[in-house]
Structure 1
Amino acid sequence: MSPFLRIVFGLIIGVAGGALFHWLALPLPWMLGALFATMAAAVGGLPVKGPKRLRPATVAVIGVLLGSRFTPDVLVGAGQWGMTLAIMLVYLAVVGMIVVPFYRHLGRFDWTTAYFAGMPGGLNEMVEIGEARGARVEQVILAQSLRIVTVIAMIAVWFRMVQGAQISGAARAGAEWPDYADLALMLAAAVFGSLMGRKLRFPAPTFLGPLILSGALHLGGVTESAPPGLVVNTAQVILGTVLGCRFAGIGAAALGRAGVLSMGATILALALALAGGLAMQAATGVGMEQALLALAPGGLTEMGLVALAIQADAAFVVLHHVIRILAVIVAAPLLHRLLSRDDPPAA
Structure 2
Amino acid sequence: MLRDAPSAQTMYKVALTLLIGTLGGVALTLAGLPAAWMSGAMIAVAAAALGRLPIALPDPLRNGLFVILGLSMGAGVTPDVVVRISHWPWTMAGLILVVVLVTAATYTYLHGWLKWDRETAYFGAIPGALSYVFAIASERNVDLTRIAASQSIRLLILIAVLPLVITSTAENPPHGLEHEVMPSLAQMAVLLGLCISASLIAVRLGVPGGWLTGAFFMSSALNASGTLPVALPEPVLIPCYIGLGCFVGSRFQSTTIGVFLSLLKAGLGAVAVGLVVSTCMALVVSVVMQMPFGQLLLAYAPGGLEVMTLLAFMLDMDPAFVAAHQLVRYIGMVLLLPFATRMILGAIKPSVSDAPGVSGK
Alignment of 1:160-309 (within 5 A): 160-161=167-168, 163=170, 166=173, 171-172=176-177, 174=179, 178-309=183-314
Residue by residue, what CA displacement relative to the aligned partner does 1:151-210 show, whole Å, maximum 9, x if unpaired? 111111223445476455xx2265685312331233023311111102222111112211
The correspondence for 1:56, drawn from 56, 63, 66, is: 63
Tell me if the contact between 1:159 and 1:165 (Cα under 8 Å) persists in the aligned partners: no
Q: Aligned pair 1:324/2:329, yes or no?
A: yes
Aligned length: 342
State the AA in 2 paired with 1:302.
Answer: V
3-state SS in 2 of match to 1:97: helix
1:123 deviates by 2.5
Q: Secondary structure at the match of 1:68?
A: helix
1:314 Cα deviation from its structure 2 partner: 2.0
Aligned partner (choices 129, 134, 138) of residue 127 of structure 1: 134
CA distance in 2, matches of 1:173, 1:116: 41
Q: Which residue is 2:115 aligned to? A: 108
Q: Which amino acid aligns with 1:182?
A: Q
How many Å separate the matches in 2 of 1:176 and 1:238?
25
Compute the RMSD of aligned alpha carbons: 2.3
Structure 2 residue aligned with 1:313: 318
Amino acid at match of 1:124: S
Question: Identity of counterpart residues, as a percentage?
Answer: 27
TM-score normalised according to structure 1 size: 0.91
Report the 3-state secondary structure (helix = DSSP H, G, I; strand = E; otherwise coil) of the residue aligned with 1:2.
Answer: helix
Using the TM superposition, name which of 334-343 and 54-63 deviates more. Answer: 334-343
- Name the residue aligned to 2:42: 35
Is this contact kept in 1: 2:170–2:294, CA < 8 A? no
Q: TM-score by structure 2 length?
A: 0.87
Amino acid at match of 1:70: V
CA separation of 1:121 and 1:327: change in aligned 2, threshold 3 A = farther
Inter-partner Cα distance in structure 2 for 1:321 and 1:328: 11
Q: Distance in 2 between matches of 1:37 and 1:210?
A: 28
Unmatched runs of 5 consecutive residues or more in structure 2: 1-7, 350-361
> Partner amino acid for 2:183?
P
- Picking from 122, 147, 153, the partner of 2:154 is 147
Paired with 1:182 and 1:173, the residues of 2 have a C-alpha distance of 19
Measured against aligned partners, the alpha-carbon deviations of 1:6-58 in whole angstroms (never above 9, x if no partner) come to 22211111111111212222221111111111111111122222333311111
Q: Distance in 2 between matches of 1:173 and 1:55?
A: 25
CA offsets 1:274-322 (integer angstroms, 9 cap, x no match): 1111221233221212111211112222222222233122221121111
Q: How does 1:39-118 map to 2 (within 5 A)?
A: 39-118=46-125
Cα-to-partner distance string for 1:118-164 (whole Å, 9 max, x where unaligned) = 11132222223322444322112112111111111111122344547
User: Which of 157-166 and 6-15 deviates more?
Assistant: 157-166
| Alignment match, 1:337 | 342
Q: Any unmatched runs of 5+ in structure 1?
A: none
Larger Rg: 2
Deviation track 1:89-137 (CA, whole Å, cap 9, x = no partner) reads: 1111111111123222333333332222211132222223322444322
Alpha-carbon shift at residue 87 of structure 1 (Å): 0.9
Query: Residue 181 of structure 2 contacts residue 229 of structure 2 at CA under 8 Å; is this kept in 1?
Result: no
2:148 counterpart SS class: helix
1:313–1:271 distance in 2 versus 1, CA, 3 Å: same
Instruction: Give the whole-Å Cα distance in 1 for the aligned partners of 2:347 and 2:77.
Output: 47
Measured in 1, the distance between the counterparts of 2:187 and 2:139 equals 43
> Which amino acid is 2:253 matched to?
A
Q: Distance in 2 between matches of 1:7 and 1:232?
A: 19
Q: Deviation per CA, 1:58-81, whole angstroms, max 9, x where unpaired?
A: 112222222232221111111110
- Worse overlay, 209-218 or 178-187: 178-187
Greater CA drift, 300-309 or 94-103 = 300-309
